[in-house]
Structures are given as structure tokens and as C-alpha cells.
Amino acid sequence: MEENKDLIVILQQIQQKALEALQKINSSEDLEHWKAVFLGRSSEVMQVFKEIPAMEVGMRPVLGQKANIVKTELEKHFEAAREHIQQAALTNSITQQKLDVTLPGRLPERGRLHIATQTLQEIYRILAEMGFQVYRSREVESDEYNFELLNIPAHHPARDLWDTFYTKKDGIILRTHTSPGQIHAMHEYAPDPVRIILPGMVYRYEQMDASHEIQFNQIEMLAVGKNITFGDLRGTLEEFVKRMFGSGVETRLRPSYFPFTEPSAEMDMKCIACSGKGCTVCSGTGWLEILGCGMVHPTVLMNGGYDPEKFSGFAAGLGTERISMLRYGVDDIRNFWANDIRFLKQF
Ligand code: DAH
């Protein structure tokens, strides 16, 4: 009986001691230490629990209850103290530690338009000012549109001008140039006049090197109407080149051959790297070839639904990656689609 009383007193003393110790604590480290000492496995309260079974049967519930009350009480105070310490730490960090608002924020990564798209858009802008509308047509073409209707019959040697990607489907190919768009557009608009540009990706089964890729963008120009002359072709192209490269740029037309135009020509411009003196960019010639062009062949006009006796037109086609290369001094066309961010970031 005496022993029982003692234990109750001891429990009270334990509680008092613990709470007094807790009062002095103001850091979380000390608090954790306190918890180990007063509520841990070998703490005094826990020892009391261990001793209960050895006590007189009648007293065990009373002692157990008391020990529980003390333990719960200590736990409650522990939680309260923890809350208090955390609050104090927060208040301290807000009031004492300065927040440096002058540090630069983290900028979001910004994307950009691909160099090829930038050039295409610049060309759209210039040609839009000159009255040309964008007309889009498919990249997967039929042999008929890519060749036949453009006056390039099967087995004609002119087909060798384009190394073609064929598909397993008979007569279905990847377009080798944007010219088939001419026929699509003429079919849609004939007999109304058209003044359009046909931009987009074309595909060629070629050995790749610094100036050859298996895919690249072209822009085709087409104007069909009454009384359109070679003079219109020349004036339009010269104006375009001046707006694209600067008013001082000199151009020249050289006779050439394309099955879908007659007469046909190629336009060169004075080398912008050496001003025509001759350098590696222009292979010493002083001139850079930039596009093919000509008066739309009567057969093509007819295939498009126009009467060649009443209508005439001009067409031109240029590779726009080549234009980008000239404008920015890019020396390898394979950079465009290699997807190397270090290259693309520069533009
Ligand atoms: N389609 C030709 C090619 O890819 C380029 C071309 C030349 C287009 C003359 C034309 C043109 O419209 O008149 O090689």
C-alpha cells in the first residue's frame, strides 16, 4: 500500500519535473531531447508502467490510470511546445531574415520560330505586298500531278531532274517540288486569274551533302491571267529579290530548261558575300543561282483548265533554305533539319 502511494507521488514528481524542464526549452533540438528523456522508452513514466504488474491487484487500475494521465499530459504539453517553437521560428525568419527581392527571377524558357519558318514568313510578307496569296497543297502527291500534268510524261528523260521517293502504292509519291500545286490551284480557280505562292516541304531521294538535303522548303510563284508577259515575270522577280536582299542587289536571267515553262530561265543574283568579285560562296563566278522560272507552258495551262490562246502566265520556284543560307551565312544545309538546338538558337 505504501509502495502504491509512493508511486503516485513519484508520478506527480515526474510530471512536475518534466513540465519544469519543458518551460526552459526554446529550440526544436532541445525539445526532441526532452521527448526522449521524459517520454522515451526508458523514461521514468515508462518505468512506472513496467512496475505496475508487480503491484497489488487492487491498486493496478488506479496506478495505470494515473500513469496514463501523466503520460497524456506530457504529450499534450510536448505538442503545444512544438507548435509554439515552430511559430516562433517562422516569425523570426520573417522579421529577422531579409528577403532579397532584387534577385532576378527565373525566366521561363522561350521557344522561337525555326529559321526556315522565319524566312518563309519574310517571303510571304514581301509577296503579299506584291499581291500574292498563299495556297497550300499536299506533300504526298500523285505521279500525275507531280509529273504528267506538268508536261513530264513517264519515261521522259526530264524525270531524271528529280530523284523521287516512291511509295508502295502505285503512282503515289512524295512531291519533289511545289510545282504540282500549280495544277491544283488552276483546277480550283480556272478560268479566273490567279496570283499565288505555293510554299512547303518537298522531298528528294538524294545523297546528302553541304548543299543537298532529302527534304527542304520551296516557294512556287504562279500568276495566270490575260496579257501576262515575260516582262511581268522579270519585273516581279527583280522586285522580290530587291525587297528580300536589299535594293542594291543586281540580278540576271539565264536561259534554262524546265518541262513546265517555255521559255525557261534561271535567276542569279550578284554574290552578296563578295559583291561579284568571286569567292567560295559563289564558286568564283560572282553570281548565285536563286530560282528557276519561266512562262507557263501552254500544255500546263491547258491541263490546268485555261485556254492557252487566251491566257498566259509565269511561274517561278525557289528553295527557301538556300535563301536562309545566303542571308545568314549558313554553310551546310543539313543543319536545318538536324535539330541541333545550338544551331537553331542562333536565329
Ligand atoms: N519545280 C522546279 C524544281 O523544283 C523549280 C521551278 C523552276 C519551278 C521553274 C517553276 C519554274 O515554277 O517555272 O526544280
Residue 131: per-residue pLDDT: 97
Q: pTM for the full model? A: 0.70
Domain borders along the chain are 2-96, 115-344
pLDDT tens digits for the chain (347 residues)? 455 668 888 889 999 999 999 999 988 999 999 999 999 888 888 888 888 888 888 888 888 888 899 999 999 999 999 999 999 888 888 888 877 788 888 889 888 999 999 999 999 999 999 999 999 999 999 999 999 999 999 988 888 888 999 999 999 999 999 999 999 999 999 999 999 999 999 999 999 888 899 999 999 999 999 999 999 999 999 999 999 999 999 999 999 999 999 999 999 999 888 889 998 888 899 999 999 999 999 999 999 999 999 999 999 999 999 999 988 989 899 999 999 999 999 99
Residue 222: per-residue pLDDT: 98
Q: Which residues line ligand 1 at a C-beta cut-off of 6 Å?
A: 177, 179, 220, 258, 261, 292-294, 315-317
Which ligand 1 atom lies nearest to the CA of residue 294?
13
Which ligand 1 atom lies nearest to the CA of residue 178?
1
Look at the block and give the residue holding cell 512506472. 48
Residue 98: count of CB within 10 angstroms of its CB? 6
Provide φ and ψ at 32, rounded to 5°.
-65, -40
CA atoms within 13 A on the CB side of 246: 9
Residue with CA at minimum distance from ligand 1 atom 6: 317
Q: With H, G, I as helix, E, B as strand and everything else as coil, classify residue 194.
A: strand
Residue with CA at minimum distance from ligand 1 atom 12: 316
Residue with CA at minimum distance from ligand 1 atom 7: 292
Q: At what angle do helices 115-129 and 320-328 cross, to 10 degrees?
A: 100
Provide φ and ψ at 133, rounded to 5°.
-100, 150
Which ligand 1 atom lies nearest to the CA of residue 177?
4
Q: Are 267 and 244 in contact (CB under 8 A)?
A: no
- In this structure, what C-alpha cell is assigned to residue 138? 499536299
- In this structure, what C-alpha cell is assigned to residue 184? 491544283
Span from the CA of 105 to the centroid of ligand 1 (angstroms): 51
DSSP 144-172: HHHTGGGT--TT-GGGGGS---B-SSTTE
Span from the CA of 128 to the centroid of ligand 1 (angstroms): 20
CATH class, range 115-344: alpha beta
Span from the CA of 292 to the centroid of ligand 1 (angstroms): 5
For 40: left if phi > 0, alpha if psi spans -120 to 50, otherwise beta; the answer is beta
Span from the CA of 221 to the centroid of ligand 1 (angstroms): 9
**Alpha helical stretches, state H, 130-269:** 143-146, 180-189, 230-245
Residue 4: per-residue pLDDT: 62
Span from the CA of 322 to the centroid of ligand 1 (angstroms): 14
Residue 72: count of CB within 10 angstroms of its CB? 10
Q: Which residue in 241, 253, 248, 247 sits closest to 275, CA to CA? A: 248
Specify the pairing of strand 312-319 against strand 215-225: antiparallel
Residue 1: per-residue pLDDT: 44
> What's the CA gap between 237 and 251, in Å, rounded?
9
> What's the CA gap between 272 and 278, in Å, rounded?
10
For 189: left if phi > 0, alpha if psi spans -120 to 50, otherwise beta; the answer is alpha
Sheet strands (E) in the chain: 133-134, 140-142, 172-174, 194-203, 215-225, 251-256, 261-270, 287-296, 312-319
